[in-house]
Structure 1
């Protein structure tokens, strides 16, 4: 049977359905019975004549002759009351009040629901007009009741009990159009004038003209509604609307489901189907999906899924955190049974988690259920049918079909379905349901009354609030396909979506499915594909009842194993840290590079992690995420719950905040936090944090004042360094901490700094400032806290990067060429990269400068990308590579500033990732001792790339943060990552990730021993806790001596073909050239382009080409190189140009 879901959704899509009421202990439902002016003659576009019981169809259940009387509605509300008593565990009572008067309107139904567009009317105008007409019907019904000569139902006094709320339901004559066409679906639809059942929230009143008496339309929608001056209920802000029947065209269909669903909306439950696209998202497994409330032909709606019951506060949730070697096993009781734990939660990331529940069609060992029946009369007479749940369809089906032969169902019930002793009887099968919950998406979508609303082209169909993990690995729920009569229909789920189950067919044997793995179509990964490592396993109970059902989508049979209690084990692979408390909410958003590790011995860890928030608050945890001391304060955070619950998140502060953080560094024992006006040293004496504070605005003899510290700190040789608006400062880390000043001459507004070691006790301080100006000052320093640096008597080295206006820079240093001379590498926020040899005595020239796609130089629209540099030997050639991020790309440059083979590599070929603030790391994660690049992204994932540019797919990307769509680039939340060996007796280093207000940690168990300390690695931002920004290339292996050869090893022009006239030429030369010439020839042999390429080097070379003057054609490029030896070599290349 196909529900008319498409038309249902198109109508609902006009309304942004949003819940109004708060959950209450008691909900009074006042039912207004409303009928229309009688049609004479009968209008064929509607079912019946507009008055109750006028449908000529004959139906055993919900018979037409009883639908207008009070007891028909009272007993349907009694069903809802019993349903919510079971769903809420007795926490909610539904009280009905069926008003005695039947209100008759002055218009016919068709006057409120025209079925054709007017001449020249656009579809959008037509849809809007129908919505306005529908709201006018609601308005007229309210006013008819309010002005009734029998008294207004809105004048009945409200309960004085604050836990009792009142709601109103319009029960109108006519049939719901959801089933128009009956068993023939839309092909048999013949009454388009019938109403849909729609919940009206405060947002929908905008479809009423505010010129009508009592209509209030406010911009914030809080007070929208119909104002009834002087009434006890002075404003109608919401309204449930239900048809007298859902039966149509010979198909007997109940209204129990829609009544329960509408009350759910009033209570605060959101739609869980996609009410924009009109597709099911949770199928038969949830009451707030249209498939769920139409389960059992609408007579047997299913229970709310796990998230809804938790959201409403009706079910307790047991949260578990398995770690490596410590799986968690829970006996999960059937939903609503009260036999024990009913919902288990497993955190996946900062914003996503899994819920596991046990859904059982029958709680009885024999699989039977009791269906309670009655009549629409003033009595309590009840009969019941005890029936096997596999045969529940015999209660409501007209015919029973076997092997293609159908006969009349003699067992069909009659009267009204008053209840059932298991409200999940309408499920397709019994078993364990595993749900993915996207907390971020729910926070965004719940304001519109929806959990799974289509989020537009950007989110498409991969971002939803709630998703059932379909354990058969066939993701079919909500997918469209053709039914037997050629109509579009959907899959609403089957027993193959639950654990455990066994599919079988005549000619094929299947294994029993008892697990959901970290990978595959049914997996425990996050929405963005982040790896979590969790495995969910189900044990088949020895006394399980076997259920045989059908797989509606695949067409084969399914066996399920039903039991009131099923044992579930949640385990995690070796990527987790044994006994860890991660992921952990730390209350405050973390700062970029805002964590260091200090020695802290306890039973299981050797280090503590100290981390800072953007406001400068310092906190500390041990390496397992456990507390070191008692919290002294907390922050309040809102939870996603119907009652807007809050939670107190404790802060484990090291002391008071001294203002916004500039930077954080450590020496292994102490932590140094630099704030704009203070420098704070924190040490742990017997585990107790102690702080020494230097007031930076306190004057120092012979030195200028400090308005604000801007970059740093750097720790080296018992000293600390930072730069302010006034210059470069050295702090002697004695007990009292004293500081001295060195001018940075004309460097204004320092942006970054590095401390570059050039000899045993000799350093270069490098400060980069505004407009790409660079300050280099050499000094000697003894490793004694009271020693002062001895600065060179030569003038400082000064240099400037040829950069974009207002471009900001990071700096780091290493011996790129392995010639014993250290270079400073500058990375600009808009793509400029330059190398300078460290020197003194005035102006220094760049070794090379290149510009790559980054920030304003890229395509993302973001003006600046501010992440830093990493160095590492990615290919084992003993030369350090330069690694940085930008514009959805990972770059790895060689010593000449040119991309190495395989780079740049695109991070995400779907939604681009940009706005990097935090640093990439270079560390081995695969165990081959060759480091990979770790990329921390703002989408909550950590990616890994090999030295050839290939993405690591085994256990990557890691779900290390939380994904959220942002409205502007200013909302980008950077992730900072750190790799260190912090846990005792743990194989492999640990990766710590800070994103928003969460910290997560993983064990890189596949990494080589000591990977974080390898000479080729850059495992912490700015080269370590000390934040020197210096990579010691001398610790790499010996550079293979390459004999100089007069040859062109590589030559090409890219992109090929050239579009837009801009291109680059790249060439590899075996020896230093004396001259380089490039010529392009057309098809006739005429030279049409010449260029001399200066400053060539032995190695890779690159130059920009301006080919705007060339027409579309294929050209032959000739590279002619004259080497220092006097020999000349040539090479040809074919390149296309497209105008």
Structure 2
């Protein structure tokens, strides 16, 4: 009988001397997900300090005999000698019958060895195999869901099998928290897409190999179901349904051929499912998404025809808690990385290069034969325990052709020999550095549906293919038919030939390379990974984060998130007047960090105080002391730069608006309408009481503040109608805009005004423009409501944040600073030009206002993002206070919320406490 060779044609030319291949043109893919329904349950990356253990409990199940021809076999375990060669005393193929206890024990032994090797001893598997063959009351077809049918028939298989196993297994000795159950059944798995080869599925009643968890079982048996309850009261809450074999004979035009596939890869992936890994292939089409570079992909499951899959990818190991990568978020590094493909280096490294808190690159060094000792394959073949060593890829021992291997594979020396590559007399492509683009926001949002890599243009776990063209999972038409790329030897990063033009592969991964380090939202990450070493067990390369814009060392910082969270930059702890610190609230507490990334208060967490964080912090200087502070519902705190704290409390209402400061007095507006002032001495003064909850303050002039509330949500003051005017702008809850009490009659739609407006003379006409975010667009209008040139600003992604204004790059054009919903931090000139180096990436769904900082005379930008992290960037541009028109939310550290600056002049603020005035 002929054997079917699995060949995946490359989409570009490999040198003629690399290898000569012949055989059947591969169109094979995994035909279904390993996990179904909502079984996936996303959890943060696991942390494992030591080793863990896992018990596998396996039973053997067969069916009532049938002869329909629509299943592989007759429903019973094949105990024949159909592939046995009497002259050698051995079987001639892998995974040959008889399918008895010894056969399944061999495969479980491989499973144990696989995870011991790939986890570096962090996961130790033991197994109990019960050899009593269970004969179920139904035929296989009665347990097999048809294409498009719900999987409830598998629930019947689950229930019938364990009900019969319950009669001879004592389950009381098993721990439900670390036991996975295997159901090995007679027959072949319905796991390979054969329609593309034959035009139809010859055995549609075979059973698909899937992992069933408790959520799946609840789908079958109801939400109150808690698993199969045994006689001892133990609940079986999971089961991996696995076939006895993946060998199948196909009747082709050329005659009968044997499709020779093993079950080792399928078993390993099933345990991966139990451990919490999602499928990493396209679960809708079955197409590969990470190629043969990890575990949870069909191409990896059947790599080397399924006899030994490669080790899990960098993300899979990271997610399981097996490795702790070195995190790089800023600066430069000459990196050294040891291969993770061999147990020789217990300290093998992985690098995590941050884009933002949830998007990053994982870098690993993978090598098929790092020690240049070849690959030894250990098998049991009947009465023989064999070991065969291969020093190179050769006919009969290459990833699509294993005709030299026979018997049951129990172990190999190097799992990663299964990776893409080519080692022979004329080629030495053993591997290199792999760079994985990880986006946890995609992973988290698509984890439950098990579709994290279904969008080929925006995967959650994506390999950056070094050769330029990103072909994994892409189907091409060729003279031989359609071919889908699954990764190859040129997808590693190394100093050497990639068989593409030098204009494509430049041995660097940068914002301008192919592929590039741009974020998934196409923001400039300013990440440069360059100078990759030649292929070896220990490789070097360089990492640099930052060009004209660099993340501040140690950022982003986790601070939590609240809808009222904003940052200010204030010179609190530094003796230099040219170096500001960052302070931010998170709804409860106040955090602070200096421009070197060190926390103020707590050097690690940055917690200044666990209270005072209901609204944006305030800052001011008095008697050579610098103060930072904030509001709680019923109190205000002042903390000086010696970290001494003063608290004042009240009982006449809850704080309902950001604080407002002048002359070292902090005004607090309350939901009862009361307005009071407080100072560091503990003195308070009741200034006014109005019949509505206070929403916001502004300083109208040196003599008067204004407040608003009730049906009005925003108020601010500036000279919008004439150079010397004092104008009051109010926006109500219906998004009507009033200037000096007169409603603007505008002839265009602005929608909902999403953030507090700003005033800035961005077109240098001597008058402030009114600038705001309206339903995701940026509007800039004059006092009459007429839009100025280049507005509104509408980008591909909606603007979600507030706005700050400065001439960032000193080109005499004022720039607006804001964030879009996809996490891109923009600096956009009033002329419509994006400042070079922007956008940069922060977290998704950022609604707070960016804050402009002086970091040692360099302009910096900080913002608290929707992911609960504080981001800070330092630019190469000089900080010039005269070119900062609106510094942060409500303009400055005292939240004066006004602007009378034009033609470079600065406001003069009276030291006299203003008279109380209100605007209704």
Q: Which residue of 2 aligns with 1:1023?
A: 891
Structure 1: distance between partners of 2:882 and 2:229: 71
Whole-Å separation in 1 of the counterparts to 2:397 and 2:863: 58
Tell me what 2:21 maps to: none
User: Counterpart in 1 of 2:55?
Assistant: 28
Paired position in structure 2 for 1:477: 472
In 2: Cα distance, 1:994 partner to 1:395 partner: 49
Give, in whole Å, the separation in 1 of the partners of 2:381 and 2:634: 79
Q: Is 1:846 aligned to 2:719, yes or no?
A: no
Match of 2:356 in 1: 349
C-alpha change, 1:497 and 1:653, in structure 2 (3 Å) is same
Distance 1:431 1:1022, change over 3 A: same
CA–CA distance in 1 between the matches of 2:270 and 2:761?
63
1:958 Cα shift? Answer: 1.8
Q: Indicate how the Cα distance of structure 1 residues 186 and 360 shifts in structure 2: closer, same or farther if over 3 A, else same.
A: farther
Match of 1:158 in 2: 173
Residue equivalent to 1:496: 490
1:172 aligns with 2:185: yes
Alignment partner of 1:235 is 2:235: yes
Matches of 2:504 and 2:609 in 1, distance apart? 58
Partner of 2:917: none
**Counterpart-to-counterpart distance in 1, 2:710 and 2:64:** 78
What is residue 851 of structure 2 aligned with on the other side? 978
Aligned to 1:678: 635
1:85 equivalenced with 2:106 (yes/no): no
SS of the residue 2:703 aligns to: strand
Cα drift, residue 26 of structure 1: 2.9
RMSD over aligned CA atoms reads 3.5
Do residues 956 (structure 1) and 830 (structure 2) align? no
Q: Supply the distance in 2 between the matched residues of 1:741 and 1:156 (Cα, whole angstroms).
A: 74
Does residue 304 of structure 1 match 2:244?
no
**Aligned partner (choices 797, 800, 820) of residue 724 of structure 2:** 820
Q: Deviations over 1:818-868 (max 9, x none)?
A: 3411211223454322211xxxxxxxx4273447645xxx3xxxxx64411
Question: What per-residue deviation string (whole Å, max 9, x for no partner) do you get for residues 313-357 of structure 1?
Answer: 32232223332xx33423333334342333111222122222111
TM-score scaled by length of structure 2: 0.84
Q: 1:664 aligns with which of 608, 611, 617?
A: 617
Aligned partner of 2:76 in structure 1 is 51
TM-aligned CA deviation for residue 754 of structure 1: 0.7
Distance 1:315 1:62 in 2: 37
Give SS of 1:394's match: coil
Cα gap change, 1:948 to 1:393, in 2 (>3 Å): farther
Instruction: Indicate conservation of the 8 Å contact 1:61/1:417, yes or no.
Output: no
Q: What is aligned with 2:104?
A: 73
CA change 1:960–1:602 in 2 (3 A) is farther
Asked whether the 8 Å contact 1:27–1:166 carries over to 2, the reply is yes
Tell me, yes or no, if the aligned pair for 1:32 and 1:99 is still in contact at 8 Å. yes
Matches of 1:947 and 1:434, distance apart in 2: 38
Alpha-carbon spacing, 1:133–1:673, altered in 2? closer, same or farther (3 Å)? closer
Aligned with residue 218 of structure 1, among 223, 235, 254? 223
Whether the aligned pair in 2 keeps the contact of 1:78 and 1:418 (CA below 8 Å) is yes
Return closer, same or farther for 1:1033/1:515 CA change in 2, 3 Å cut-off.
Answer: same
What is the match of residue 370 of structure 1? 376
Matched, 1:420 2:412: yes
State the SS of the aligned residue for 1:611.
strand
Task: Provide the residue aligned with 1:841 in structure 2.
Answer: none
Residue of structure 1 equivalent to 2:341:
335
Note if contact 1:814-1:822 (Cα within 8 Å) is conserved in structure 2: yes
| Structure 1: unaligned runs, 5 residues or longer | 116-125, 211-216, 399-408, 455-459, 542-561, 632-649, 698-705, 773-808, 837-844, 859-863, 964-971, 1039-1139
Q: Distance in 1 between matches of 2:559 and 2:115?
A: 37
Instruction: Tell me what 2:553 maps to.
Output: 580
SS in 1 for 2:72: coil
Q: Relative to structure 1, is the Cα distance of residues 259 and 767 closer, same or farther in structure 2, using a 3 angstrom cutoff?
A: same
> After superposition, what is the alpha-carbon deviation per residue over 1:31-56, rounded to whole angstroms, capped at 9, x for unaligned?
222222233xx432222222233799
- In structure 2, what is the Cα distance between the partners aligned to 1:80 and 1:205? 25
Contact 1:584 1:998 in 2 (8 A): yes
- Rate the CA distance shift 1:469–1:927 in 2: closer, same or farther, 3 A: farther
Q: 1:276 and 1:433 mapped to 2: Cα distance?
A: 26
Question: Helix, strand or coil for the counterpart of 2:266?
Answer: helix
Shift in Å, 1:424: 0.7
Aligned to 1:523: 516
1:266 aligns with 2:274: yes
Task: Kindly state the Cα deviation for residue 89 of structure 1 after the two structures are TM-superposed.
Answer: 0.6
CA distance in 1, matches of 2:201, 2:897: 72
Distance change (3 Å), C-alpha of 1:207 and 1:867:
closer
Does the 8 Å contact 1:88/1:314 carry over to 2?
yes
Which whole-Å CA distance do the structure 1 matches of 2:125 and 2:682 have between them? 70
CA displacement at 1:175 relative to structure 2: 1.8
Matches of 1:393 and 1:813 in 2, distance apart?
A: 81
Judged with a 3 Å threshold, the aligned counterparts in structure 2 of structure 1 residues 437 and 586 are, in CA distance, closer, same or farther, namely same
SS at match of 1:710: coil
- Determine whether 1:907 maps to 2:799: no
Q: What is the aligned length? A: 850
Matches within 5 A, 1:615-634: 615=588, 617-630=589-602
Matches within 5 A, 1:539-558: 539-541=532-534
> Which of 853, 860, 872 in structure 2 is aligned with 1:1001?
872
> Helix, strand or coil for the counterpart of 1:140?
helix
Report the Cα distance in structure 2 between the residues aligned to 1:944 and 1:607, rounded to whole angstroms. 20
Q: Deviations over 1:1023-1066 (max 9, x none)?
A: 2112112212344489xxxxxxxxxxxxxxxxxxxxxxxxxxxx
Q: Is it true that 1:316 corresponds to 2:328 in the alignment?
A: no
- Quick one: distance in 1 between partners of 2:355 and 2:754? 29
Equivalent position to 1:468, from 439, 463, 468:
463
Aligned mate of 2:154, from 125, 131, 134: 134
User: Which one of the candidate residues 512, 530, 538 is aligned to 1:537?
Assistant: 530
Instruction: Decide whether the 8 Å contact of 1:462 with 1:527 is kept in 2.
Output: no
